[in-house]
Amino acid sequence: MTIRVPIVENILNANDHLAEQNRGRIDSAGVFSINIMASPGAGKTSLIEQTLPRLKDKLRVAVVDGDIATSIDADRAANAGAQAAIQVNTGGDCHLDAVMLRGALEQLDLTQFDLLIVENVGNLVCPASFKLGTHKSILIASIPEGDDKPYKYPGMYRGVDALVINKIDLLPYVPFKMDYFKHGVEVLNPGVLTFPLSAKTGEGMDAWVDWLIGQVKAM
Amino acid sequence: MHELAVTQSILDIALRHATQASAKKITSINIVIGEFASIVDDSVQFYWDLLADDTIAKGAQLCFERIAGEMTCTNCQHAFHPKDIDFACPNCGSQFVQITKGDEFRVDSIDVE
Ligand SMILES: Nc1nc2c(ncn2[C@@H]2O[C@H](COP(=O)(O)OP(=O)(O)OP(=O)(O)O)[C@@H](O)[C@H]2O)c(=O)[nH]1
Ligand SMILES: [Mg+2]
Ligand SMILES: [Zn+2]
């Protein structure tokens, strides 16, 4: 005899549960944490490189870098002044998940830091589904990617707490209708905090860095 | 793509509930996937055949219920399927719209013996 067992359980429950444990660990050390997501080449590492020197002598920062295979990004973060830079190779996976972040956290004495920055794998789809346990999710959109990305990748734009619009120095050179872009963002994520900036020229970096410092102080 | 991890989660959930129900065999698993969840059914089925092999879920049928993405206009309440070129309401042209369906990603039930 066949019987139906009702379940109604989110498929990513196990990951979400581990993410909560990560959060507990981060919280109890009093650290503020962010998960930076973006397509490949949007400027995740560049933003981290620009941010670190501006936090020098103010905040102690640990960076966890998710990458499919190399340690290039973690090395860049270390050179830019991160007090700790941990590389997590996902071995082909398209995203970091809570288990991978847990592994990285085990290598850190979190009490020695004020801010934890996680750079996710470059991908505009998969990282959105896997919570890590960080306090805020940040999406970097970059001008050369085009203004239609919110419409094509709604899942990513929906879930984030702040949006960095990077490479604004390229606005004069590439077609990018800011109104069209912002409309898509507004529908998917009404009122989301937005930081237009250039990780190349440094324009707009102050607002971003001030926000980060404010978040750390509010912990 | 991360279908392997997702398939493992589906299997874990199904096995846990089947054990609680003292079932001997899982015959089907009813999964609900919204359009924005970006998961490929075929890959889940492929991994399933590998992962479930020596469990009581071996040979179970995966039934996917696909939920189309839906937006609702906050001006005229018209519900429509979003197009990736524009998020405006096709009925009244309003730009004030909200996503109302498509985020689902869950196991709804299992059939067991
Ligand atoms: N013009 C311009 N170029 C930038 C800016 N920010 C980053 N870049 C360039 O964009 C390229 C990619 O930057 P990365 O910081 O490596 O991008 P990423 O998102 O970390 O890339 P992955 O980790 O490989 O996914 C590099 O050549 C950077 O120099 C910017 O604001 N303006
Ligand atoms: Mg990088
Ligand atoms: Zn309308």
String of DSSP letters for A4-41: EEEEEEETTHHHHHHHHHHHHHHHHTT-EEEEEEESTT
Report helix, strand or coil for A145.
Answer: helix
Give the model's pLDDT for residue B85: 63
**Residue of A8, A148, A151 lying closest to B106 (CB–CB):** A8
| Model confidence at A8: pLDDT above 60 | yes
Kindly give the distance from the C-alpha atom of residue A144 to the centroid of ligand 2, in angstroms, as a whole number.
16
Kindly give the distance from the C-alpha atom of residue A56 to the centroid of ligand 3, in angstroms, as a whole number.
50
Phi and psi, residue B73, nearest 5°: -75, 130
Least confident segment among A60-74, A169-183, B84-98 = B84-98
CATH code at position B101? 3.30.2320.80
Q: B40 falls in which pLDDT band (50, 70, 90)? A: confident
* CA–CA min distance B1, chain A (Å): 6
Domain range for A59 is 7-218
Which residue of B lies nearest to A189 if distances are taken between CA atoms?
B98
How much of chain A exceeds pLDDT 70, in percent? 100
* Length of chain B measured in residues: 113
| Model confidence at B39: pLDDT above 80 | no
A189-203 average pLDDT score: 96
Per the structure, how many domains does chain A have? 1
Q: Tell me how far apart the alpha carbons of residues B88 and B94 are, in angstroms, rounded to a whole number.
A: 6
**Residue of A5, A11, A125 lying closest to B21 (CB–CB):** A5
Q: Does the beta-carbon distance from B105 to A125 stay under 8 Å? A: no
Give the model's pLDDT for residue B14: 96
pLDDT per residue over A84-125, tens digit each? 999 998 877 788 999 999 999 999 999 999 999 999 999 988
Q: How many CB atoms lie within 10 A of CB A90?
A: 17
What lies within 8 Å, CB to CB, of B58 at 6+ separation is B52
Task: Say if CB B105 and CB B69 are below 8 A apart.
Answer: no
Phi and psi, residue A21, nearest 5°: -65, -40
Which residue of A lies nearest to B39 if distances are taken between CA atoms?
A126
Look at residue A14 and tell me if it is in a domain. Answer: yes
Q: Which amino acid is at B54?
A: D
Kindly give the distance from the C-alpha atom of residue A43 to the centroid of ligand 1, in angstroms, as a whole number.
3
Q: Is residue A90 less than 8 Å (CB to CB) from chain B?
A: no
CATH code at position A161? 3.40.50.300
pLDDT per residue over A153-174, tens digit each? 888 998 899 999 999 999 999 9
Give the model's pLDDT for residue A90: 83
User: In this predicted model, which residue has the larger pLDDT, A69 or A195?
Assistant: A195
Query: Is any atom of ligand 1 closer than 6 Å to the C-beta of A43?
Result: yes
Give the model's pLDDT for residue A76: 97
Phi and psi, residue A17, nearest 5°: -65, -45
User: In this predicted model, which residue has the larger pLDDT, A38 or B37?
Assistant: A38
Average pLDDT, chain A: 94
Give the model's pLDDT for residue A129: 84
Give the model's pLDDT for residue A178: 97
pLDDT per residue over A13-24, tens digit each? 888 999 999 999
How much of chain B exceeds pLDDT 70, in percent? 96
**ipTM score:** 0.80
Kindly give the distance from the C-alpha atom of residue A80 to the centroid of ligand 1, in angstroms, as a whole number.
15
**Residue of B17, B84, B105 lying closest to A7 (CB–CB):** B17
Sheet containing A136-142: give its strands across: A84-89, A61-67, A115-119, A32-38, A136-142, A162-166, A193-196
Q: Is residue B103 less than 8 Å (CB to CB) from chain A?
A: yes
Domain range for B106 is 2-112
Q: Exposure pattern of B4-39 as b/e (b: 16+ CB <10 Å)?
A: bbbbebbbbbbbebbeeeebeebbbbbbbbbbbbbb
Q: Tell me how far apart the alpha carbons of residues A148 and A182 are, in angstroms, rounded to a whole number.
A: 10
How much of chain A exceeds pLDDT 90, in percent? 80
Task: Say if CB A52 and CB A61 are below 8 A apart.
Answer: yes
Look at residue A136 and tell me if it is in a domain. Answer: yes
Q: Is residue A15 less than 8 Å (CB to CB) from chain B?
A: yes
Q: Tell me how far apart the alpha carbons of residues A55 and A210 are, in angstroms, rounded to a whole number.
A: 10
Which residues from B are below 8 Å from A13, CB to CB?
9, 13
Task: Say if CB A83 and CB A111 are below 8 A apart.
Answer: no
Of A195-209, B34-48, B50-64, B71-85, where does the model show the most confidence?
A195-209
Query: Is any atom of ligand 1 closer than 6 Å to the C-beta of A144?
Result: no
Helices (H) and strands (E) in chain B, counts: 2, 6
Per the structure, how many domains does chain B have? 1
Task: Say if CB B34 and CB B104 are below 8 A apart.
Answer: yes
How much of chain B exceeds pLDDT 90, in percent? 56
Give the model's pLDDT for residue B84: 59
Look at residue A1 and tell me if it is in a domain. Answer: no
Q: Tell me how far apart the alpha carbons of residues A43 and A18 are, in angstroms, rounded to a whole number.
A: 28
Give the model's pLDDT for residue A125: 85
Q: B1 falls in which pLDDT band (50, 70, 90)? A: low
Q: Is residue A91 less than 8 Å (CB to CB) from chain B?
A: no
Residue with tokens 């109302």: B100
* Best probe residue, ligand 1, of A35, A44, A46, A165 (max atoms within 8 Å of C-beta): A46
Give the model's pLDDT for residue A141: 98
Task: Say if CB A113 and CB A60 are below 8 A apart.
Answer: yes
Q: Does the beta-carbon distance from A9 to B112 stay under 8 Å? A: no
